[in-house]
Structure 1
Amino acid sequence: MSTDPTLARDLAAAATLRGSFLLRSGTIADTYFDKYRFEGDPALLRRLADAMLALVPAETQLLAGLELGGVPIATAMSLASGLPAVFVRKQAKSYGTCLAVEGGDVTGKRVLLVEDVISTGGAIADAVPLVRAAGAQIIGVVCAIWRGDGAPGITVMPDLPVRAAFTRAVRRS
């Protein structure tokens, strides 16, 4: 559990924008949560990485940051913990190494997926087959913020443990 009592407030203050925003759904909102605002702030990112590291299972051998938002968080967690990190593309690139999982060999390793914000888990569901195809054993997911309904979890992968540093209301979960 985080020993940083002001982190949730500071994340919300950095990332909550007011104005007129077109959402992916096509609706207009007067507030927008821009997660890249806290991912790009070194002090906040360090504090968030520390809070998320408290959720990492002891058997974890590799952190796997999902493109795009999971990459800076996994990197910060790696720097703070010494655990190696790899990076998961949305699809294998068509040139060079032609890999979907970059940064090192994951074969036979116990891998924890790292994501910034999860609402439905679609990006996780897309990444899992890519990481497994690379030979990894996925032991779970850790995210900064769970925005979905109910307890953190991926509906299409109910056996995959999901741990969240914060919930949609940006409170400690």
Structure 2
Amino acid sequence: MTDPNLAADIDACCRLTGEFLLRSGQTSTEYFDKYLFESDPALLARVADQMVALVPDGTELLGGLELGGIPIATAVSARTGLPALFVRKKAKEYGTGKLAEGPAVEGRRVTLVEDVITTGGAVRDATNALRAAGAVVETVVCAIDRSPADVNPLADVGLEVLAVLTKAELDAARG
């Protein structure tokens, strides 16, 4: 069952106007602050509810990517009963030195969870690292896929991208 107002509600919550410096160094009069929906319990719950249906059969662990994928993976974990795994951008340099916090990944099917995918850089890095640790990683589910329509930015690593919402759906929600 889809949530017909989710795109409009996320857009209304997260699209900010003003003057913003972007990662690219350019400035913009508009900014999409994804953390606003992730920190809103009602919106996060709605995203997680929609994401549950995207989790492939056979998934053993939900790998939430630091930082934005972690709250979503936790919410989806609570709904599915699947254990969550918290995947760092790089292994910590102290204590256990782990890249992924939580259950062991070797030989287990991990579905990655991310908030927004544009080029897929962080997902690509996590996929390669988890595969090197022995995990089976074939799918990433995300709240928003901002890559161009009909383009899989993670095809080069053989990863299927499943999204709750696309950039086109968010743009259409604005009217």
- CA positional deviation for 1:115: 0.6
Structure (1/2) with the larger helix percentage? 2
- CA positional deviation for 1:157: 2.2
1:99 and 1:68, CA in 2 relative to 1: closer, same or farther beyond 3 A?
same
Counterpart of 1:77 in 2: which secondary structure? Answer: helix
CA contact (8 A) 2:74 2:84 kept: yes
Q: Mark the runs of 5 or more structure 2 residues left unpaired by the alignment.
A: none
- Once residues 169 and 67 of structure 2 are traced to their aligned partners in structure 1, the CA distance between those partners, rounded to angstroms, is 21
Counterpart of 2:140 in 1: which secondary structure? Answer: strand
- Once residues 93 and 60 of structure 1 are traced to their aligned partners in structure 2, the CA distance between those partners, rounded to angstroms, is 26
- Once residues 52 and 156 of structure 1 are traced to their aligned partners in structure 2, the CA distance between those partners, rounded to angstroms, is 21
Which residue is 1:103 aligned to?
A: 102
- Once residues 19 and 84 of structure 1 are traced to their aligned partners in structure 2, the CA distance between those partners, rounded to angstroms, is 40
- Once residues 155 and 114 of structure 1 are traced to their aligned partners in structure 2, the CA distance between those partners, rounded to angstroms, is 14
- Once residues 29 and 93 of structure 1 are traced to their aligned partners in structure 2, the CA distance between those partners, rounded to angstroms, is 34
CA contact (8 A) 1:101 1:134 kept: no
- CA positional deviation for 1:151: 2.4
TM-score by length of 1: 0.93
Calculate percent identity across the aligned residue pairs. 57
The farther-off stretch of 35-44 and 105-114 is 105-114
- CA positional deviation for 1:131: 1.0
Aligned counterparts, 1:58-73, within 5 A: 58-73=57-72
Give deviations 1:111-147, integer Å, cap 9, x for gaps. 1011110110111111112211222111211111111
- Once residues 170 and 150 of structure 1 are traced to their aligned partners in structure 2, the CA distance between those partners, rounded to angstroms, is 11
1:152 and 1:60, CA in 2 relative to 1: closer, same or farther beyond 3 A?
farther
Give the count of matched residue pairs: 171
- Once residues 123 and 153 of structure 2 are traced to their aligned partners in structure 1, the CA distance between those partners, rounded to angstroms, is 8
Which residue is 2:51 aligned to?
A: 52
CA contact (8 A) 1:60 1:139 kept: no
Quote the RMSD (CA, aligned, Å).
1.6
- Once residues 134 and 168 of structure 1 are traced to their aligned partners in structure 2, the CA distance between those partners, rounded to angstroms, is 33
- Once residues 3 and 14 of structure 1 are traced to their aligned partners in structure 2, the CA distance between those partners, rounded to angstroms, is 19
- Once residues 14 and 120 of structure 2 are traced to their aligned partners in structure 1, the CA distance between those partners, rounded to angstroms, is 21
- CA positional deviation for 1:152: 5.1
CA contact (8 A) 2:124 2:154 kept: no
- Once residues 125 and 49 of structure 1 are traced to their aligned partners in structure 2, the CA distance between those partners, rounded to angstroms, is 22
Q: Mark the runs of 5 or more structure 1 residues left unpaired by the alignment.
A: none
CA contact (8 A) 2:54 2:162 kept: yes
- Once residues 142 and 151 of structure 1 are traced to their aligned partners in structure 2, the CA distance between those partners, rounded to angstroms, is 16
Which residue is 2:34 aligned to?
A: 35
- CA positional deviation for 1:26: 1.5
Which residue is 1:144 aligned to?
A: 143
CA contact (8 A) 1:101 1:130 kept: no
Which residue is 1:135 aligned to?
A: 134
- CA positional deviation for 1:156: 5.7
The farther-off stretch of 128-137 and 150-159 is 150-159
